[in-house]
Structure 1
């Protein structure tokens, strides 16, 4: 019988099947540990640094194992890469009999019923949405899986998509006339029949929290569960174990009511009026909040008289809407579903108004047009940990960033993984030869006004030295990003790629194509971005990524930590900042041929005692406080030693 380690030898079937495959001791160690975990149905937490080859390290034991397995990824992009690229190549080589399936959340699948509804009321839409609707209809005739990601003729955020996909709130379930042909139902059926199903973290927790009706059977079906990019799990779990309600959901419900009036119940004029009244109250509700998008403490903000008045008006509009819908129950399946949806929204709305309950953070966030209220549990360890212990399954959690130094306590404590084995695997890269870490001397403190011109000056010096390579400028706030971007536009003729100017995928593609571009990004570019070679030879980070002190969720966790008698800074604030910096730094060296410079523009890295925890978690690059050494290194990379 072939041992798992044998698959990672120079003369193995993998070496024959995968171009460029080469054995890595850490990869073999990880695969062997996972195979043991699967066999004994234990829990394993693995930090595998960049270059370890963790994807193959968990796929081989999963493919050679027995029973059903679920692999959950941090993003849809990684989910698709795994399903379309990595899994097929390995499966064909070592386990061609295994059936593999991809499953996304319901909003990724075309809803045939809502498409028909939208076509019936097309004249109510804008010209743009009408045009997009024609594209969707044309595509719907040919698609096999109904995944709207395959609608390449439309942008990712096309306005038509909410009109032709369903939510858990408006889905008719088995009562839908198109249930037998439903793309989502068929995708779930394939997932239940597969040996291995690839999902993402949001979908996993939607299922675990049983919020997605008719999908709760998938997780208990698994004998083994693997979570890639597992560092994201605590925050995502908190979202799904809490409650949230936004004005966008309520507005969509009102528009769905108007569609029912226009297409099915044309005599129910009162329903149209109730929808208009609700939409008006939602506009007033948004005006009760500051104009600029922000996050805030809902428990405190709810005490304002103007907010209470707007909330009362919205409560009355919701109640009126529910009562009107109730009068027509039984006349339309869509209306019956709408009524149930409204009752559920009113229940959540009332929960969110009762802000005196303990154990939760109550907070709000706004966009230019909408408001979302949140109730987030301060800890999920008991619930998640119990779920893991009670399951008869193996659980594997892996990421490049899970430990603080080599201590996994922060991660395992947040998820209640008291019985988990841990493994910390180093990268095979020669960081000391491949890169340089610079913390420039004489920088102002991050909050000082002088920091902006200093940051711009460092960036322009780097761009002068890094002529033929690409540069990332990673920020902890959108405000600083915009300030630096405005100044750089006047100071360089290098192509600038600014987050928000186009979607992330296009921005990254154009940056790589430019070869010597400058990309300015915030949190979404700190992780999950893979740029190799000279297209990225310098990463500049503006400051240590501590969460904003006025973040209401952070404040609640700090308060809860203090009440338990623990030290809030070391337990609540420091660990996620260390992991976030680790993620940002990980953008630089992506393979053994990469070279580059990491510049962190924050004196606290060397002046504060906690700076040592950050440094201990970073790749072992050569270090300097002299910016000129970093510039010289970049000049050498471009072959220009004149500077």
Structure 2
């Protein structure tokens, strides 16, 4: 592959094709390093700060290298951006004959079978759901891809999508009467034929790495895999290398079986009765935990009254359900598929109850209306390492947040099984080109109590209010728990009302993330109080966001069952869980949260971190040194003055 450097020159093809394009030294160096890794089939772990231009830095060498490349992103937003904007732009600039394809999980594509069946059944909870399904039906008749992101008439979170898409469980596969027109199969055929395939991490693990559902050829055929937003990989890998059975899946199985029975075996009353029995068993298991939400270990769950009995009852209900369904399965493809799902679900439940693998963490997650029995690997490094040692290819891992401190990738490489590779992975860090000392101020308020103090949340709100007024809104308040989020939201509302400041205050959960972000940008002077889902993957460039307040260092709760098991395992190995796992995770999460503030060379603002441990504890220095090199202060007056000197907000833009 040729040297990518000339591509980024002031008189190069990117500058000629993209108005205002200006190469950055970091971008060119990153492109050179990626070209080296692609050429030599090496593993590269690269942190590239915000504004580096890392997308073009990996796209240019990837398109010049030839061969098949898989690009995997952490979010569907970036996936769509790569496919619809960045890849076509770079391809046109380079004038290379490269074919590209977009591949998402099956739940993103309209399913002809389920759409037709549910439209025919006509069972909807609301008139809006019925209207949405009609709109999806019209969309399905004209779309070329079936991608629900293109159906702008129906909200992304509409319940109608459940009726119009398939899951891995309820897809009929080769038995489907619509298999020739199937949008999922069409997308997969396109992916197999394309030179560059854009996927997301969930799909990569579910369908590519695990070679599920006929996609086993995609990974072996590729010459390079590039992960953007690679900091999300350990969590995603844990999800897919583990297993789970949930009451929601059980209820869906019962519902689908009832619909298929009505369509193909109406005379089998016993099957309808069994669907009701199965639904009752699932709901009874959920009711063991009342109205609470929780994440607890299997051992803790077993201490709950009736938990073991209700799991046993669910197991028996599945057995009885299977016995009747087996007598009807040959009457339709749909019933046959329900039988297969029942057998797989029964096997997963049996494995959860009596696991064969000792390196699995068994735990229970309780949601508002459902419950999941989970088995998560103690570590994913061994599984991932086996994939890396397969067919020779380049593996690129990049993100704005991978290193701890200035350039320590040890934690990430251990998590992903990269630390023991021979030759060892290439690593590199490119800092942001932004002038943080001029553009931003890091404010660590003095006199804050310990985070476990009863009045800590009130003190956070008290710190935030004068800053919010000085910024004239334009604020993210990022919290580490939902409880703190709700309380801080109340306190900010009260404080602004008391001072007569009429600023819109938004709360996570009042709408979808997309809707809230659109409102925040449009209002121009809003305050958004949010929790974990807004710490990353959120981009608000410009003057709509000038202040980010973080309540605490984002340590995972020590009673989290997965963390607790991993801590115990590390202690048995003679390692410090805090040093080797908890602190590095916190640093990476903190860098993500802090990264919301400065998104372009023109952005200016204040990052306020309320947690006194960053200053007063020895480990706080690790966090402190990992943050962007902003000017720093402990004086409220300096932070207020910085914000008051910013240009006024642009309203209603």
- TM normalised by structure 1 equals 0.97
Q: What secondary structure sits across from 2:39 in the alignment?
A: helix
1:186-585 mapped onto 2 (5 Å cutoff): 186-208=186-208, 210=210, 212-354=212-354, 358-405=358-405, 406-417=407-418, 418=421, 419-467=424-472, 470-492=474-496, 493-585=502-594
The within-5 A match list for 1:598-613 is 598-613=607-622
Aligned-partner SS, 1:556: helix
Which of 578, 590, 598 pairs up with 1:589? 598
For residues 214-245 of structure 1, give each alpha carbon's deviation from its aligned partner in whole angstroms, at most 9, with x where no partner exists: 12222212111100000000111011110011
Q: Deviations over 1:421-447 (max 9, x none)?
A: 101111111111111111111001111
The alpha carbon displacement at 1:306 in A equals: 0.8
- How far does residue 120 in structure 1 lie from its aligned partner after superposition? 2.6
Question: Shift in Å at residue 300 of structure 1?
Answer: 2.5
- Residue aligned with 2:45, SS: strand
CA change 1:61–1:622 in 2 (3 A) is same
SS in 1 for 2:331: coil
On the 8 A contact 2:288/2:304 being kept in 1, the answer is no
Give the corresponding residue for 1:6: 6
* Structure 1 moving runs of 4+ over 6 Å: none
Q: Does structure 2 conserve the Cα–Cα contact (< 8 Å) formed by 1:561 and 1:568?
A: yes
Q: How does 1:170-189 map to 2 (within 5 A)?
A: 170-189=170-189
> Deviations for 1:170-205, whole angstroms, at most 9, x for unmatched residues?
111111111111000000000110010100000000
- Asked whether the equivalents of residues 404 and 579 of structure 1 are also in contact (C-alpha less than 8 Å), the reply is yes
Contact 1:114/1:166 (8 A) holds in 2: yes
Per the TM alignment, residue 319 of structure 1 is displaced from its structure 2 partner at its CA by 0.6
Segment drifting more, 570-579 vs 328-337: 328-337
Distance 1:573 1:618 in 2: 17
Aligned in 2, Cα 1:88/1:639: closer, same or farther, shift over 3 Å?
Answer: closer
1:100 aligns with 100
- Any idea what SS the aligned residue of 2:244 has? strand
Task: State the match for 2:160 in structure 1.
Answer: 160
CA 626–66 in structure 1, closer or farther in 2 if over 3 Å, else same: same
**Deviation (angstroms), 1:452:** 2.0
Give, in whole Å, the separation in 2 of the partners of 1:65 and 1:525.
Answer: 36
Cα shift at 1:305: 4.4
Please identify, of 94-103 and 270-279, the stretch whose mean Cα deviation from structure 2 is larger: 94-103
Contact 1:440–1:601 (Cα < 8 Å) also in 2: yes
Change (3 A) 1:529 1:490: same
Taking the aligned partners of 1:105 and 1:204, their CA distance within structure 2 comes to 9
Distance 2:544 2:303 in 1: 51
* Contact 1:538-1:598 within 8 A present in 2 as well: yes
Structure 1 range deviating more: 609-618 or 161-170: 161-170
Does the CA contact (< 8 Å) of 1:544 and 1:581 recur in 2? yes
1:620 corresponds to which residue? 629
> Is the CA contact 1:473–1:540 (under 8 Å) kept in the aligned structure 2?
yes
Preserved CA contact (<8 Å) 2:552 2:611: yes
Q: Which residue in 2 is equivalent to 1:635? A: 644
Say which SS state the counterpart of residue 579 (structure 1) adopts.
helix
Structure 1 residue 123, shift from structure 2 partner: 4.4
Distance 1:473 1:124 in 2: 38
Inter-partner Cα distance in structure 2 for 1:128 and 1:247: 26
Tell me the number of residue pairs that the alignment of Structure 1 and Structure 2 aligns.
639
**Structure 2 Cα separation of the partners of residues 635 and 136 of structure 1:** 48
Q: What's the CA shift for 1:209? A: 5.1
Shift of 1:112: 0.6
Tell me, what secondary structure is at the counterpart of 1:397? strand
Q: Which runs of 5+ in 2 are unaligned?
A: 497-501
Shift of the alpha carbon at 1:125? 5.8
Matches of 1:516 and 1:474 in 2, distance apart? Answer: 17
The secondary structure found in structure 2 opposite 1:501 is coil
Alignment check: 8 A CA contact 2:17 2:93 kept: yes
Name 1:17's counterpart in structure 2. 17
User: Would the aligned equivalents of 2:468 and 2:547 in 1 still touch at CA under 8 Å?
Assistant: no
Shift of 1:474: 0.5
> Does the 8 Å CA contact 1:120/1:263 hold for their aligned counterparts?
no
Q: Using the alignment, how far apart are the partners of 2:447 and 2:354 within structure 1?
A: 50
Q: What CA distance in whole angstroms lies between the structure 2 residues aligned with 1:189 and 1:500?
A: 38
Deviations 1:512-551, CA, capped at 9 Å, x for gaps: 1111111111111111111112111111000100001111
Q: What RMSD in Å do the two structures reach over aligned CA positions?
A: 1.5
Which sits farther off after the overlay, 386-395 or 436-445?
Answer: 386-395
Q: Deviations over 1:279-304 (max 9, x none)?
A: 11111111112411121112331244
* 1:365, distance to aligned residue in structure 2 (A): 1.1
Give the distance between the partners of 2:249 and 2:105, measured in 1 at CA: 17
* Alpha-carbon contact 1:209-1:241 (below 8 Å) kept: no
Change (3 A) 1:595 1:623: same
Instruction: Say if 1:70 and 1:224, in contact at 8 Å, map to a contact too.
Output: yes
Matches of 2:241 and 2:83, distance apart in 1: 28
Question: In the aligned structure 2, how far is the partner of 1:629 from the partner of 1:355?
Answer: 58
- The answer as to whether partners of 2:458 and 2:491 remain within 8 angstroms in 1 is no
CA–CA distance in structure 2, aligned partners of residues 490 and 52 of structure 1: 41
Q: Does 1:141 align with 2:137?
A: no
Whether the aligned pair in 2 keeps the contact of 1:245 and 1:372 (CA below 8 Å) is yes
Structure 2 SS opposite 1:221:
coil
User: TM-score under structure 2 normalisation?
Assistant: 0.96
